[in-house]
């Protein structure tokens, strides 16, 4: 009779993985509190964490602060935390306008970064060669040995999949050809994924809030509008690949039409093209003289800054369009907050400065409530830091999932 079960190595990895998860979400933390969170013995936690400390994966950071109201007898708790400089991650992200590459520690603190502007003339070979060359240079410049590098994580936005020959195979994104080309010049393990989900993962705050993990909605504004959902610190399976589902959401019932989509959909109303078309419709020397002057009579120069400058100078037609866009985004954000229990909605690649974002938030408060508007934040990732999504993937896969162990175990 064939025996089935979990191997000792698998069990060891799983126990270490659970301990790392607790420390990541609640640390610095004592061994006693880790044991309590996982409902395993303190002795077991001590044995495992001591081994991880010897390996350099964890580090003791001193005694827990004294609670003068609840003085305890006996030894003080010793706090442990993840040694964020025990391993390092290479990351890259390919979006419509830029390739960004970077090197971080386990806490996503940047050691090095670089980016290359791309356009329609940039070939897939150019992109692959840039990632290979830059990754190798960063490791060499940082004087890191191969065993210190977890690998390279690469995120690619959906609108660039075709260019890099990334297609669906049996319902799953197939990065194998892309990985093979990268592997020809890199001696590291390479993992790839949908950049939208990976950037959402990089934006996530893993520390629990008042003991609770919170859900997050991540909205990317590019040639496509994309959405990723982080559910209790995990990337939702529904949004690992099909992040463009958000484009079918209705934000203006009975509104503008777009073939293949419901009337008033995100695709028809809030895509980059749709929003620009709304400004093109009012753009003229007579109707919008301020915007016309700011853009030197060239509608192709309309951008966020010129629009908000015209708005602040009292250009009423511009204000009408801006407020209409904000109204539709508020509908979308309110629906996401309700349907996904999202306590944070991250806006990525919206190109808003602090003053412009304040205007948006004030309108949202007027339309819904301060409680909903306060959930909306701008992404900490910009074009040159988008590589953090790739770093987040390789850190998750090759450090946390493996329990901090050096090599993959079955």
End-to-end CA distance of the chain: 22
Q: Is 18 exposed, middle or buried (CB count within 10 Å of its CB: 0-12, 13-18, 19+)?
A: middle
In order, the DSSP letters of 363-401 are HHHHHS-HHHHTTEEE-S--GGGTTHHHHHHHHIIIIIT
| Tens-digit pLDDT profile for residues 44-66 | 999 999 999 999 999 999 887 76
Using DSSP bridges, classify how beta strands 78-82 and 29-30 pair: parallel, antiparallel or unpaired.
antiparallel
Q: How confident is the model at residue 365 (pLDDT cuts 50, 70, 90)?
A: very high
Q: How confident is the model at residue 238 (pLDDT cuts 50, 70, 90)?
A: confident
Q: Count other C-beta atoms under 10 Å from residue 374's C-beta.
A: 13
Among the listed residues 233, 217, 232, the one whose alpha carbon sits nearest the alpha carbon of residue 329 = 217
Please calculate the CA angle 208-360-203 and round it to the nearest 5 degrees: 30
pLDDT at 380 over 50: yes
**Domain 8-82 in CATH 1.10.10.10:** yes
Mapped onto helix, strand or coil, the DSSP state of residue 266 is helix
| Tens-digit pLDDT profile for residues 143-194 | 999 999 999 999 999 999 999 999 999 888 999 999 999 999 999 999 999 9
Q: Which residues are within 8 A (CB) of 351 and not within 5 positions of it... i.e. 6 or more apart?
A: 303, 304
**Look-up of token digits 């990976």:** 198
The alpha carbon of 355 is separated from its chain's Cα centroid by a whole number of angstroms, namely: 24
| Tens-digit pLDDT profile for residues 262-287 | 999 999 999 999 999 999 999 999 99
**Domain 249-374 in CATH 3.30.420:** yes
Query: Which part of the chain is CATH 3.30.420.40?
Result: 88-201+385-400
Q: How confident is the model at residue 6 (pLDDT cuts 50, 70, 90)?
A: low
Rg (CA), the chain: 24
Q: Count other C-beta atoms under 10 Å from residue 150's C-beta.
A: 24
Taking the C-alpha atoms of residue 392 and residue 388, their distance in angstroms, rounded to an integer, is 6
The pair of three-digit structure tokens given for residue 292, joined into one six-digit string: 């016309």
pLDDT of res. 66: 61
Query: Which part of the chain is CATH 1.10.10.10?
Result: 8-82
Which fold, 88-201+385-400? Nucleotidyltransferase; domain 5 (3.30.420)
The dihedrals phi and psi of 287, each to the nearest 5 degrees, come to -75, -40
pLDDT at 320 over 70: yes
For the chain, give the mean pLDDT: 91
Number of alpha helices (DSSP H) and beta strands (DSSP E) in the chain: 14, 15
Mapped onto helix, strand or coil, the DSSP state of residue 92 is strand
In order, the DSSP letters of 43-85 are HHHHHHHHHHHHHTSEEEEEEPPP-TTS--SSSPPEEEEE-TT
Taking the C-alpha atoms of residue 348 and residue 201, their distance in angstroms, rounded to an integer, is 13
Q: Is 275 exposed, middle or buried (CB count within 10 Å of its CB: 0-12, 13-18, 19+)?
A: buried
């Amino acid at each position: 009779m064939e025996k089935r079960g979990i191997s000792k190595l698998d069990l060891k990895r799983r126990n270490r993985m659970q301990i790392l998860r607790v420390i990541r979400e609640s640390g610095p933390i004592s061994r006693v509190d880790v044991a309590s969170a996982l409902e395993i013995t303190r002795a077991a936690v001590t044995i495992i964490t001591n081994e991880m400390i010897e390996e350099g994966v964890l580090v003791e950071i001193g005694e827990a602060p004294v609670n003068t109201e609840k003085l305890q007898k006996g030894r003080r708790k010793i706090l442990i935390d993840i040694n964020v400089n025990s391993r390092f991650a290479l990351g890259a992200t390919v979006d419509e306008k830029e390739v960004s590459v970077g090197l971080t520690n386990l806490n996503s603190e940047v050691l090095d970064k670089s980016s290359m502007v791309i356009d329609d003339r940039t070939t897939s070979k150019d992109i692959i060669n840039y990632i290979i060359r830059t990754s190798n240079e960063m490791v060499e410049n940082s004087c890191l040995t191969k065993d210190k590098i977890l690998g390279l994580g690469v995120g690619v936005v959906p609108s660039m999949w075709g260019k890099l020959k990334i297609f669906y195979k049996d319902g799953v994104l197939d990065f194998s050809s892309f990985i093979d080309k990268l592997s020809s010049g890199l001696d590291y393990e390479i993992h790839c994924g949908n950049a939208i989900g990976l950037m959402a993962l990089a934006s996530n705050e893993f520390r629990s809030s008042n003991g609770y993990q919170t859900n997050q909605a991540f909205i990317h504004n590019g040639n496509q509008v994309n959405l990723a959902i982080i559910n209790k610190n995990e990337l939702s399976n529904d949004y690992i690949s099909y992040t463009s589902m958000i484009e079918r959401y209705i934000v203006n019932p009975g509104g503008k039409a777009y073939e293949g989509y419901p009337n008033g959909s995100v695709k028809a109303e809030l895509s980059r093209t749709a929003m620009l078309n709304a400004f093109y419709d009012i753009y003229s020397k007579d109707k919008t003289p301020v915007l016309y002057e700011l853009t030197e009579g060239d509608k192709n120069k309309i951008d966020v800054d010129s629009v908000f400058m015209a708005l602040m100078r009292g250009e009423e037609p511009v204000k009408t369009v801006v407020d209409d866009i904000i109204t539709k985004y508020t509908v979308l954000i309110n629906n996401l907050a309700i349907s996904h229990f999202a306590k944070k909605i991250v806006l990525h690649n919206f190109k808003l400065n602090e003053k412009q974002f304040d205007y948006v938030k004030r309108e949202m408060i007027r339309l819904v409530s301060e409680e909903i508007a306060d959930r909306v934040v701008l992404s900490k990732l910009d074009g040159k830091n988008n590589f953090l999504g790739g770093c987040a993937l390789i850190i998750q896969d090759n450090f946390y999932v493996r329990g901090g162990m050096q090599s993959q175990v079955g």
